[in-house]
Amino acid sequence: MTRLILATRNAGKITELRSILADAGLPHELVGADAYPDVPDVKETGVTFAENALLKAHALARATGLPAVADDSGLCVDVLGGAPGIFSARWAGRHGDDKANLDLLLAQLSDIAEEHRGASFACAAALALPDGTERVVEGRLDGTLRHAPAGTNGFGYDPILQPEGETRTCAELTPAEKNAISHRGKAFRALVPVVRELLG
């Protein structure tokens, strides 16, 4: 069985990706980057989600000699010209402080009317092989931003994005419901045939 490394140490994301890829019938053993504690974290110096995903996937593939999958994703707010975008995880200044990021974004949008609160989650998923082969696919989930967080599932900006056609936020959906429509779910399902083609 081929081992496929997921370039993340985020337990929530590993669980989500395992579920998506397993549901698609991939037989590969999926492990997180935490299985390789000596491999340093990669600086996300790209200016697009795709560039950052490739940086992480290539670094892990080179360091371990195994195929690696990475993603980069974020929230793109229409009225902010696509921001926070690649800066989503550190919008408030410190990487991964979900509450601070949420609070800052809601404050910035506090006087924006409903009809201008369009936003989307975007995700680029990359597969890199030790020989330098690479592929990138993308997924997107459109919706609108609530004025206050709702729900306790998910992470990041999930409590404020209400997907198109839904009355609940992403954080109010079950993990299965979210995976079925999410940007990450779409991107990783699009990556499945690529993994099959390149890894068998």
The CATH code of the domain that includes 58 is 3.90.950.10
Closest CA to 37 of 9, 72, 3, 11: 9
Write out the binding residues: 8-13, 72-73, 155-158, 178, 183-184
User: Is residue 13 pLDDT above 90, yes or no?
Assistant: no
The pLDDT-based confidence of 1 (bands split at 50, 70, 90) is low
Please report the pLDDT score of residue 40 as a whole number: 83
Query: What is the average pLDDT across 28-55?
Result: 90
- Mean pLDDT (whole number) for 51-61: 96
What is the CA 8 to chain-centroid distance, rounded? 10
SS3 122: strand
Confidence of residue 107 (pLDDT cuts 50, 70, 90): very high
| Among the ranges given (15-29, 82-96, 184-198), the one the predictor scored with the smallest mean pLDDT | 15-29
Listing DSSP states for 57-89 in one string gives HHHHHHHHSS-EEEEEEEEEEGGGTT-BGGGGG
Which among 34, 72, 98, 142 is annotated as catalytic? 72
DSSP designation for 147: S
Q: Which residues are annotated as a binding site for Mg(2+)?
A: 72
**Residue 48 pLDDT exceeds 90:** yes
- Spatial neighbors of 38 by CB under 8 A, at least 6 apart, are none
Asked if 72 is an active-site residue, the reply is yes
Confidence class of residue 93 from pLDDT cuts 50, 70 and 90? very high
What is the predicted pLDDT for the residue at 29? 83
Ramachandran region, residue 85 (left: φ > 0; alpha: ψ -120 to 50; beta: rest): left
Mean pLDDT of the chain: 92
CA atoms within 13 A on the CB side of 27: 5
pLDDT recorded at residue 16: 76
The SS3 assignment for 129 reads coil
151 in the Ramachandran plot: left (φ > 0), alpha (ψ -120 to 50) or beta? left
Question: Binding site for substrate: residue ranges?
Answer: 8-13, 73, 155-158, 178, 183-184
The domain containing residue 144 runs over which residues?
Answer: 3-199
Question: What span, in angstroms and rounded, lies between the C-alpha atoms of 196 and 21?
Answer: 11
Model pLDDT for residues 125-180, shown as the tens digit of each residue: 999 999 999 999 999 999 999 999 999 998 899 999 999 999 999 999 998 899 89
Least Cα distance to 69 among 85, 80, 56 occurs for: 56
Is the model's pLDDT at 80 over the cut of 90? Answer: yes
Q: Which amino acid is at 138?
A: E
Number of domains comprising the chain: 1
